[in-house]
Structure 1
Amino acid sequence: MGAAIGEILPLALGVAISPIPIIAAILMLLSPRARVTSVGFLLGWVLGIVVAVTVFTLLSSILPEQGSDASNPAQGTIQLILGALLLLLAVGQWRKRPRRGVEPAMPKWMQAIDKMTFPVAFGLGFVLSAVNPKNLLMGAGAGVDIGSAGLAVGEIVLVIAVFTVIAASTVLVPVVGYLVAASKLRDPLDALRGWLEKENAVIMAVLLLVIGVSLIGKGIAGF
Protein backbone atom coordinates (compact mmCIF):
# COMPACT_ATOMS: atom_id res chain seq x y z
CA MET A 1 0.00 0.00 0.00
CA GLY A 2 2.89 2.35 0.77
CA ALA A 3 4.20 1.91 -2.78
CA ALA A 4 0.79 2.79 -4.22
CA ILE A 5 0.60 5.95 -2.11
CA GLY A 6 4.06 6.92 -3.30
CA GLU A 7 2.97 6.44 -6.92
CA ILE A 8 -0.12 8.65 -6.63
CA LEU A 9 1.42 11.50 -4.60
CA PRO A 10 2.71 13.52 -7.63
CA LEU A 11 -0.68 13.18 -9.32
CA ALA A 12 -2.52 14.28 -6.18
CA LEU A 13 -0.25 17.31 -5.92
CA GLY A 14 -0.91 18.03 -9.59
CA VAL A 15 -4.63 18.27 -8.89
CA ALA A 16 -4.04 20.28 -5.71
CA ILE A 17 -1.87 22.93 -7.37
CA SER A 18 -4.35 23.64 -10.18
CA PRO A 19 -4.77 27.46 -9.98
CA ILE A 20 -8.27 27.83 -11.47
CA PRO A 21 -10.21 26.00 -8.70
CA ILE A 22 -8.13 27.77 -6.06
CA ILE A 23 -8.97 31.15 -7.64
CA ALA A 24 -12.65 30.15 -7.86
CA ALA A 25 -12.70 29.19 -4.18
CA ILE A 26 -11.01 32.47 -3.19
CA LEU A 27 -13.47 34.51 -5.25
CA MET A 28 -16.32 32.73 -3.50
CA LEU A 29 -14.76 33.46 -0.12
CA LEU A 30 -14.56 37.15 -1.06
CA SER A 31 -18.16 37.23 -2.31
CA PRO A 32 -21.27 38.29 -0.31
CA ARG A 33 -22.43 34.65 0.00
CA ALA A 34 -19.02 33.31 1.00
CA ARG A 35 -20.09 30.64 3.47
CA VAL A 36 -22.81 29.14 1.27
CA THR A 37 -21.00 29.03 -2.07
CA SER A 38 -17.56 28.08 -0.74
CA VAL A 39 -18.90 25.06 1.17
CA GLY A 40 -20.91 23.95 -1.87
CA PHE A 41 -17.85 24.31 -4.10
CA LEU A 42 -15.69 22.36 -1.65
CA LEU A 43 -18.17 19.48 -1.42
CA GLY A 44 -18.49 19.29 -5.21
CA TRP A 45 -14.70 19.44 -5.60
CA VAL A 46 -14.15 16.56 -3.15
CA LEU A 47 -16.93 14.41 -4.65
CA GLY A 48 -15.60 14.93 -8.17
CA ILE A 49 -12.12 13.79 -7.15
CA VAL A 50 -13.49 10.67 -5.43
CA VAL A 51 -15.71 9.75 -8.39
CA ALA A 52 -12.98 10.22 -11.01
CA VAL A 53 -10.35 8.21 -9.16
CA THR A 54 -12.79 5.47 -8.17
CA VAL A 55 -14.08 5.02 -11.72
CA PHE A 56 -10.58 4.70 -13.18
CA THR A 57 -9.51 2.41 -10.35
CA LEU A 58 -12.39 0.07 -11.19
CA LEU A 59 -11.66 0.24 -14.91
CA SER A 60 -7.96 -0.50 -14.38
CA SER A 61 -8.85 -3.71 -12.53
CA ILE A 62 -9.79 -5.32 -15.85
CA LEU A 63 -6.30 -4.76 -17.28
CA PRO A 64 -4.17 -7.91 -17.80
CA GLU A 65 -1.94 -8.75 -14.84
CA GLN A 66 1.78 -8.13 -15.13
CA GLY A 67 3.92 -10.87 -16.57
CA SER A 68 6.51 -12.96 -14.78
CA ASP A 69 9.18 -10.41 -15.72
CA ALA A 70 7.21 -7.63 -13.93
CA SER A 71 6.22 -6.08 -17.27
CA ASN A 72 2.71 -4.80 -17.92
CA PRO A 73 2.38 -3.55 -21.51
CA ALA A 74 -1.33 -2.67 -21.19
CA GLN A 75 -0.75 -0.44 -18.17
CA GLY A 76 2.40 0.98 -19.74
CA THR A 77 0.54 1.89 -22.91
CA ILE A 78 -2.18 3.70 -20.97
CA GLN A 79 0.42 5.63 -18.97
CA LEU A 80 2.27 6.60 -22.15
CA ILE A 81 -0.96 7.92 -23.66
CA LEU A 82 -1.88 9.85 -20.51
CA GLY A 83 1.64 11.30 -20.30
CA ALA A 84 1.57 12.38 -23.93
CA LEU A 85 -1.82 14.08 -23.47
CA LEU A 86 -0.52 15.95 -20.42
CA LEU A 87 2.48 17.15 -22.44
CA LEU A 88 0.12 18.44 -25.13
CA LEU A 89 -1.87 20.30 -22.48
CA ALA A 90 1.40 21.70 -21.08
CA VAL A 91 2.30 23.12 -24.49
CA GLY A 92 -1.17 24.63 -24.81
CA GLN A 93 -0.93 26.25 -21.38
CA TRP A 94 2.51 27.67 -22.13
CA ARG A 95 1.26 29.23 -25.35
CA LYS A 96 -1.64 30.83 -23.46
CA ARG A 97 0.60 32.61 -20.96
CA PRO A 98 -0.01 36.40 -21.05
CA ARG A 99 2.65 38.72 -22.36
CA ARG A 100 4.25 41.27 -20.08
CA GLY A 101 1.93 44.12 -19.23
CA VAL A 102 -1.14 42.25 -20.45
CA GLU A 103 -3.82 41.29 -17.94
CA PRO A 104 -4.56 37.55 -18.11
CA ALA A 105 -8.03 36.60 -19.33
CA MET A 106 -9.94 34.57 -16.76
CA PRO A 107 -13.02 32.39 -17.50
CA LYS A 108 -16.24 34.37 -17.94
CA TRP A 109 -18.08 32.24 -15.38
CA MET A 110 -15.92 33.77 -12.66
CA GLN A 111 -17.74 37.06 -13.17
CA ALA A 112 -20.95 35.38 -12.01
CA ILE A 113 -19.55 33.93 -8.78
CA ASP A 114 -21.16 36.67 -6.63
CA LYS A 115 -24.61 35.47 -7.79
CA MET A 116 -24.00 31.73 -7.43
CA THR A 117 -26.21 29.54 -5.27
CA PHE A 118 -25.18 26.44 -3.32
CA PRO A 119 -26.24 23.93 -6.05
CA VAL A 120 -24.44 25.91 -8.78
CA ALA A 121 -21.27 26.16 -6.70
CA PHE A 122 -21.50 22.43 -5.93
CA GLY A 123 -21.88 21.59 -9.63
CA LEU A 124 -18.99 23.87 -10.57
CA GLY A 125 -16.72 22.17 -8.03
CA PHE A 126 -17.68 18.75 -9.36
CA VAL A 127 -17.09 19.73 -12.99
CA LEU A 128 -13.70 21.32 -12.28
CA SER A 129 -12.48 18.22 -10.46
CA ALA A 130 -14.13 15.32 -12.30
CA VAL A 131 -14.66 16.61 -15.85
CA ASN A 132 -11.85 19.14 -16.36
CA PRO A 133 -9.41 17.47 -18.83
CA LYS A 134 -6.27 18.22 -16.80
CA ASN A 135 -7.60 16.81 -13.54
CA LEU A 136 -9.36 13.96 -15.33
CA LEU A 137 -6.06 12.79 -16.84
CA MET A 138 -4.36 12.94 -13.45
CA GLY A 139 -7.26 11.09 -11.86
CA ALA A 140 -6.98 8.46 -14.58
CA GLY A 141 -3.26 8.09 -13.90
CA ALA A 142 -3.91 7.66 -10.18
CA GLY A 143 -6.69 5.15 -10.84
CA VAL A 144 -4.41 3.06 -13.04
CA ASP A 145 -1.72 3.05 -10.33
CA ILE A 146 -4.19 2.11 -7.59
CA GLY A 147 -6.12 -0.50 -9.56
CA SER A 148 -2.96 -2.29 -10.74
CA ALA A 149 -1.30 -2.39 -7.32
CA GLY A 150 -3.02 -5.61 -6.22
CA LEU A 151 -4.46 -4.10 -3.04
CA ALA A 152 -7.28 -5.35 -0.85
CA VAL A 153 -10.55 -3.40 -0.90
CA GLY A 154 -9.82 -1.68 2.42
CA GLU A 155 -6.39 -0.62 1.22
CA ILE A 156 -7.82 0.74 -2.03
CA VAL A 157 -10.31 2.84 -0.07
CA LEU A 158 -7.52 4.18 2.13
CA VAL A 159 -5.27 5.07 -0.82
CA ILE A 160 -8.16 6.85 -2.59
CA ALA A 161 -8.84 8.74 0.65
CA VAL A 162 -5.19 9.83 0.85
CA PHE A 163 -5.28 10.97 -2.78
CA THR A 164 -8.51 12.89 -2.19
CA VAL A 165 -7.27 14.68 0.94
CA ILE A 166 -4.07 15.82 -0.78
CA ALA A 167 -5.78 16.74 -4.05
CA ALA A 168 -8.51 18.72 -2.28
CA SER A 169 -6.22 20.36 0.29
CA THR A 170 -5.66 23.64 -1.55
CA VAL A 171 -9.41 24.26 -1.67
CA LEU A 172 -10.13 22.71 1.73
CA VAL A 173 -7.59 24.78 3.70
CA PRO A 174 -8.72 28.28 2.60
CA VAL A 175 -12.42 27.40 2.94
CA VAL A 176 -12.05 25.97 6.45
CA GLY A 177 -9.64 28.75 7.42
CA TYR A 178 -12.11 31.39 6.23
CA LEU A 179 -14.96 29.81 8.16
CA VAL A 180 -12.82 29.97 11.30
CA ALA A 181 -11.18 33.38 10.87
CA ALA A 182 -12.76 35.28 7.98
CA SER A 183 -11.59 38.79 8.87
CA LYS A 184 -7.92 37.82 9.10
CA LEU A 185 -7.81 35.99 5.77
CA ARG A 186 -9.48 38.42 3.37
CA ASP A 187 -6.33 40.40 2.49
CA PRO A 188 -3.99 37.37 2.16
CA LEU A 189 -6.56 35.55 0.02
CA ASP A 190 -7.02 38.57 -2.24
CA ALA A 191 -3.24 38.85 -2.71
CA LEU A 192 -2.96 35.12 -3.48
CA ARG A 193 -5.80 35.36 -5.99
CA GLY A 194 -4.05 38.17 -7.88
CA TRP A 195 -0.78 36.24 -8.06
CA LEU A 196 -2.47 33.03 -9.24
CA GLU A 197 -4.37 34.91 -11.94
CA LYS A 198 -1.11 36.28 -13.36
CA GLU A 199 0.87 33.03 -13.13
CA ASN A 200 -1.92 30.53 -13.86
CA ALA A 201 -0.72 29.49 -17.33
CA VAL A 202 2.95 29.17 -16.36
CA ILE A 203 2.17 27.17 -13.20
CA MET A 204 -0.03 24.74 -15.10
CA ALA A 205 2.43 24.38 -17.99
CA VAL A 206 5.30 23.43 -15.68
CA LEU A 207 3.09 21.18 -13.59
CA LEU A 208 1.67 19.29 -16.57
CA LEU A 209 5.14 18.95 -18.09
CA VAL A 210 6.61 17.37 -14.94
CA ILE A 211 3.70 14.98 -14.38
CA GLY A 212 3.49 14.11 -18.07
CA VAL A 213 7.17 13.17 -18.19
CA SER A 214 6.71 11.14 -14.99
CA LEU A 215 3.82 9.17 -16.51
CA ILE A 216 5.78 8.55 -19.71
CA GLY A 217 8.65 7.22 -17.60
CA LYS A 218 6.26 4.86 -15.79
CA GLY A 219 4.83 3.78 -19.13
CA ILE A 220 8.24 2.96 -20.58
CA ALA A 221 9.07 0.97 -17.44
CA GLY A 222 5.98 -1.15 -18.02
CA PHE A 223 7.41 -2.80 -21.14
Structure 2
Amino acid sequence: MGEALGELLPVAVAVAVSPIPIMAVILMLLAPRAGGASVGFLAGWVAGIVGATVVFWVLADMAGLESASGEPSAEESWIKLALGVGILVLAVRHWRERPRPGEPAGLPGWMKAIDKVTAARAMALGAGLSAVNPKNLMLCAAAGVTIAHAGLALGSDVVLVAVFTLVAACTVVAPAVAYRVAAERMRGPLDRLRAWLERDNATVMFVLLLVIGVVLAGKGIGGLIG
Protein backbone atom coordinates (compact mmCIF):
# COMPACT_ATOMS: atom_id res chain seq x y z
CA MET A 1 0.00 0.00 0.00
CA GLY A 2 2.86 2.36 0.73
CA GLU A 3 4.03 2.44 -2.89
CA ALA A 4 0.51 3.10 -4.20
CA LEU A 5 0.01 5.83 -1.60
CA GLY A 6 3.26 7.45 -2.66
CA GLU A 7 2.02 7.59 -6.25
CA LEU A 8 -1.41 8.88 -5.27
CA LEU A 9 -0.35 11.79 -3.06
CA PRO A 10 1.20 14.01 -5.79
CA VAL A 11 -1.88 13.47 -7.95
CA ALA A 12 -4.14 14.35 -5.01
CA VAL A 13 -2.14 17.53 -4.39
CA ALA A 14 -2.60 18.53 -8.04
CA VAL A 15 -6.38 18.22 -7.57
CA ALA A 16 -6.22 20.03 -4.23
CA VAL A 17 -4.54 23.15 -5.58
CA SER A 18 -7.07 23.65 -8.37
CA PRO A 19 -7.58 27.44 -8.08
CA ILE A 20 -11.10 27.68 -9.55
CA PRO A 21 -12.93 25.58 -6.91
CA ILE A 22 -10.97 27.24 -4.10
CA MET A 23 -11.95 30.68 -5.41
CA ALA A 24 -15.54 29.50 -5.90
CA VAL A 25 -15.94 28.33 -2.31
CA ILE A 26 -14.27 31.51 -0.99
CA LEU A 27 -16.66 33.69 -3.01
CA MET A 28 -19.59 31.67 -1.66
CA LEU A 29 -18.33 32.09 1.90
CA LEU A 30 -17.95 35.85 1.46
CA ALA A 31 -21.42 36.18 -0.10
CA PRO A 32 -24.41 37.34 1.99
CA ARG A 33 -25.89 33.81 2.01
CA ALA A 34 -22.72 31.84 2.66
CA GLY A 35 -24.12 28.82 4.49
CA GLY A 36 -26.15 26.64 2.15
CA ALA A 37 -24.22 27.32 -1.05
CA SER A 38 -20.80 26.60 0.43
CA VAL A 39 -21.98 23.36 2.08
CA GLY A 40 -23.62 22.25 -1.16
CA PHE A 41 -20.49 23.05 -3.16
CA LEU A 42 -18.33 21.14 -0.69
CA ALA A 43 -20.62 18.09 -0.83
CA GLY A 44 -20.60 18.12 -4.63
CA TRP A 45 -16.82 18.56 -4.80
CA VAL A 46 -16.15 15.57 -2.51
CA ALA A 47 -18.78 13.39 -4.21
CA GLY A 48 -17.34 14.19 -7.64
CA ILE A 49 -13.82 13.22 -6.61
CA VAL A 50 -14.98 9.96 -5.01
CA GLY A 51 -17.28 9.10 -7.89
CA ALA A 52 -14.76 9.72 -10.67
CA THR A 53 -11.94 7.91 -8.84
CA VAL A 54 -14.10 4.87 -8.04
CA VAL A 55 -15.41 4.64 -11.62
CA PHE A 56 -11.89 4.60 -13.08
CA TRP A 57 -10.68 2.21 -10.37
CA VAL A 58 -13.49 -0.25 -11.19
CA LEU A 59 -12.96 0.11 -14.95
CA ALA A 60 -9.22 -0.45 -14.59
CA ASP A 61 -9.85 -3.43 -12.33
CA MET A 62 -12.29 -4.94 -14.86
CA ALA A 63 -9.72 -4.42 -17.60
CA GLY A 64 -7.23 -6.49 -15.62
CA LEU A 65 -4.76 -3.74 -14.81
CA GLU A 66 -4.10 -5.05 -11.32
CA SER A 67 -0.50 -6.09 -10.78
CA ALA A 68 0.28 -9.81 -10.50
CA SER A 69 4.04 -9.63 -10.95
CA GLY A 70 4.68 -6.07 -9.85
CA GLU A 71 5.21 -4.99 -13.47
CA PRO A 72 2.68 -2.82 -15.31
CA SER A 73 0.78 -4.36 -18.22
CA ALA A 74 1.02 -2.91 -21.72
CA GLU A 75 -2.55 -1.63 -21.40
CA GLU A 76 -1.76 0.20 -18.16
CA SER A 77 1.39 1.69 -19.67
CA TRP A 78 -0.53 3.01 -22.67
CA ILE A 79 -3.20 4.49 -20.39
CA LYS A 80 -0.58 6.22 -18.23
CA LEU A 81 1.19 7.53 -21.32
CA ALA A 82 -2.09 8.88 -22.73
CA LEU A 83 -3.01 10.49 -19.41
CA GLY A 84 0.47 11.99 -19.08
CA VAL A 85 0.33 13.50 -22.57
CA GLY A 86 -3.18 14.83 -21.94
CA ILE A 87 -2.10 16.47 -18.69
CA LEU A 88 0.95 17.99 -20.42
CA VAL A 89 -1.36 19.48 -23.05
CA LEU A 90 -3.43 21.04 -20.27
CA ALA A 91 -0.22 22.37 -18.67
CA VAL A 92 0.71 24.12 -21.90
CA ARG A 93 -2.81 25.58 -22.13
CA HIS A 94 -2.56 26.98 -18.60
CA TRP A 95 0.82 28.52 -19.42
CA ARG A 96 -0.52 30.18 -22.57
CA GLU A 97 -3.59 31.51 -20.73
CA ARG A 98 -1.63 33.13 -17.90
CA PRO A 99 -2.07 36.93 -17.69
CA ARG A 100 0.84 39.02 -18.94
CA PRO A 101 2.55 41.45 -16.54
CA GLY A 102 0.16 44.27 -15.75
CA GLU A 103 -2.78 42.48 -17.35
CA PRO A 104 -5.76 41.70 -15.08
CA ALA A 105 -6.53 38.02 -14.60
CA GLY A 106 -9.78 36.85 -16.15
CA LEU A 107 -12.39 34.81 -14.30
CA PRO A 108 -15.08 32.49 -15.67
CA GLY A 109 -18.32 34.34 -16.34
CA TRP A 110 -20.34 32.16 -13.94
CA MET A 111 -18.26 33.43 -11.01
CA LYS A 112 -19.76 36.90 -11.34
CA ALA A 113 -23.14 35.57 -10.18
CA ILE A 114 -21.86 33.02 -7.69
CA ASP A 115 -23.17 35.00 -4.70
CA LYS A 116 -26.72 34.24 -5.91
CA VAL A 117 -26.29 30.49 -6.45
CA THR A 118 -28.56 28.10 -4.53
CA ALA A 119 -27.36 25.12 -2.51
CA ALA A 120 -28.56 22.65 -5.16
CA ARG A 121 -26.80 24.51 -7.98
CA ALA A 122 -23.69 24.86 -5.85
CA MET A 123 -23.66 21.08 -5.32
CA ALA A 124 -23.98 20.48 -9.07
CA LEU A 125 -21.22 23.03 -9.70
CA GLY A 126 -18.90 21.33 -7.20
CA ALA A 127 -19.52 17.92 -8.74
CA GLY A 128 -18.95 19.30 -12.22
CA LEU A 129 -15.68 21.00 -11.33
CA SER A 130 -14.33 17.84 -9.69
CA ALA A 131 -15.66 15.06 -11.92
CA VAL A 132 -16.33 16.66 -15.33
CA ASN A 133 -13.53 19.22 -15.55
CA PRO A 134 -10.98 17.64 -17.96
CA LYS A 135 -7.97 18.30 -15.73
CA ASN A 136 -9.47 16.78 -12.60
CA LEU A 137 -11.07 13.96 -14.59
CA MET A 138 -7.66 12.89 -15.91
CA LEU A 139 -6.11 13.16 -12.46
CA CYS A 140 -8.89 11.03 -10.94
CA ALA A 141 -8.40 8.55 -13.79
CA ALA A 142 -4.70 8.37 -12.94
CA ALA A 143 -5.60 7.73 -9.30
CA GLY A 144 -8.07 5.00 -10.23
CA VAL A 145 -5.53 3.25 -12.44
CA THR A 146 -2.90 3.46 -9.69
CA ILE A 147 -5.27 1.90 -7.14
CA ALA A 148 -6.25 -0.90 -9.54
CA HIS A 149 -2.61 -1.64 -10.38
CA ALA A 150 -1.72 -2.04 -6.71
CA GLY A 151 -3.75 -5.26 -6.61
CA LEU A 152 -4.60 -4.88 -2.92
CA ALA A 153 -7.56 -6.20 -0.93
CA LEU A 154 -10.84 -4.30 -1.16
CA GLY A 155 -10.39 -2.75 2.29
CA SER A 156 -6.98 -1.36 1.33
CA ASP A 157 -8.38 0.01 -1.94
CA VAL A 158 -11.12 1.81 -0.01
CA VAL A 159 -8.50 3.32 2.30
CA LEU A 160 -6.52 4.56 -0.72
CA VAL A 161 -9.65 6.16 -2.20
CA ALA A 162 -10.41 7.79 1.16
CA VAL A 163 -6.88 9.18 1.59
CA PHE A 164 -6.81 10.44 -2.00
CA THR A 165 -10.16 12.16 -1.52
CA LEU A 166 -9.15 13.68 1.82
CA VAL A 167 -6.00 15.23 0.38
CA ALA A 168 -7.65 16.26 -2.91
CA ALA A 169 -10.57 17.97 -1.14
CA CYS A 170 -8.67 19.54 1.78
CA THR A 171 -8.17 22.95 0.15
CA VAL A 172 -11.91 23.33 -0.38
CA VAL A 173 -12.84 21.87 3.01
CA ALA A 174 -10.33 23.95 4.99
CA PRO A 175 -11.65 27.45 4.07
CA ALA A 176 -15.24 26.35 4.75
CA VAL A 177 -14.34 24.94 8.17
CA ALA A 178 -12.14 27.92 9.09
CA TYR A 179 -14.87 30.38 8.09
CA ARG A 180 -17.46 28.60 10.23
CA VAL A 181 -15.11 28.63 13.22
CA ALA A 182 -14.12 32.31 12.94
CA ALA A 183 -16.06 34.07 10.20
CA GLU A 184 -15.00 37.67 10.81
CA ARG A 185 -11.34 36.86 11.38
CA MET A 186 -11.18 34.77 8.18
CA ARG A 187 -12.69 37.36 5.82
CA GLY A 188 -9.41 39.20 5.26
CA PRO A 189 -7.18 36.11 4.78
CA LEU A 190 -9.73 34.43 2.49
CA ASP A 191 -10.04 37.54 0.34
CA ARG A 192 -6.23 37.80 0.04
CA LEU A 193 -6.02 34.09 -0.87
CA ARG A 194 -8.68 34.57 -3.53
CA ALA A 195 -6.77 37.53 -5.02
CA TRP A 196 -3.51 35.56 -5.10
CA LEU A 197 -5.14 32.56 -6.77
CA GLU A 198 -6.85 34.82 -9.29
CA ARG A 199 -3.52 36.40 -10.18
CA ASP A 200 -1.23 33.34 -10.20
CA ASN A 201 -3.50 30.32 -10.75
CA ALA A 202 -2.31 29.67 -14.31
CA THR A 203 1.36 29.56 -13.31
CA VAL A 204 0.68 27.36 -10.27
CA MET A 205 -1.33 24.88 -12.32
CA PHE A 206 1.26 24.87 -15.12
CA VAL A 207 4.02 23.77 -12.75
CA LEU A 208 1.92 21.08 -11.06
CA LEU A 209 0.46 19.68 -14.26
CA LEU A 210 3.88 19.70 -15.89
CA VAL A 211 5.35 17.59 -13.08
CA ILE A 212 2.41 15.15 -12.95
CA GLY A 213 2.28 14.84 -16.73
CA VAL A 214 6.00 14.12 -17.05
CA VAL A 215 5.85 11.50 -14.27
CA LEU A 216 2.84 9.71 -15.78
CA ALA A 217 4.20 9.81 -19.32
CA GLY A 218 7.58 8.58 -18.05
CA LYS A 219 5.94 5.66 -16.24
CA GLY A 220 3.99 4.79 -19.36
CA ILE A 221 7.08 4.87 -21.59
CA GLY A 222 9.08 2.92 -19.01
CA GLY A 223 6.42 0.20 -18.87
CA LEU A 224 6.33 -0.10 -22.65
CA ILE A 225 10.06 -0.36 -23.23
CA GLY A 226 10.94 -2.14 -19.95
Q: TM-score range by the shorter chain?
A: over 0.9
Q: Give the Cα–Cα distance (whole angstroms) in 2 for the partners of residues 145 and 155 of structure 1.
A: 13
1:117-136 matches, within 5 Å, as: 117-136=118-137
Q: Give the Cα–Cα distance (whole angstroms) in 1 for the partners of residues 47 and 22 of structure 2.
A: 16
Aligned residues: 223
Aligned to 1:104: 105
Aligned to 1:79: 80
Q: Give the Cα–Cα distance (whole angstroms) in 2 for the partners of residues 180 and 98 of structure 1.
A: 35
Q: Give the Cα–Cα distance (whole angstroms) in 1 for the partners of residues 70 and 163 of structure 2.
A: 30
Q: CA deviation at 1:3?
A: 1.5
Q: Deviations over 1:2-21 (max 9, x none)?
A: 22111111110000011111
Relative to the length of structure 1, the TM-score reads 0.97
AA matched with 1:91:
V
Q: CA deviation at 1:220?
A: 2.0
User: Would the aligned equivalents of 1:71 and 1:221 in 2 still touch at CA under 8 Å?
Assistant: no
Aligned to 2:63: 63
Q: Deviations over 1:14-73 (max 9, x none)?
A: 000111110101111110111111111100000000000000000001234557582411
1:28-177 matches, within 5 Å, as: 28-64=28-64, 70-177=71-178
User: Would the aligned equivalents of 1:63 and 1:75 in 2 still touch at CA under 8 Å?
Assistant: no
Q: Give the Cα–Cα distance (whole angstroms) in 1 for the partners of residues 219 and 141 of structure 2.
A: 14
Secondary structure of the corresponding residue to residue 63 of structure 2? coil
Structure 2 unpaired stretches of 5+: none
Q: Give the Cα–Cα distance (whole angstroms) in 1 for the partners of residues 35 and 27 of structure 2.
A: 12
Q: Give the Cα–Cα distance (whole angstroms) in 1 for the partners of residues 170 and 18 of structure 2.
A: 11
Aligned to 1:220: 221
Q: Give the Cα–Cα distance (whole angstroms) in 1 for the partners of residues 150 and 62 of structure 2.
A: 12
Q: Deviations over 1:74-98 (max 9, x none)?
A: 1010000000000111111100011
Relative to the length of structure 2, the TM-score reads 0.95
Aligned to 1:24: 24
Structure 1 unpaired stretches of 5+: none
Change (3 A) 1:76 1:111: same
Secondary structure of the corresponding residue to residue 61 of structure 1? helix
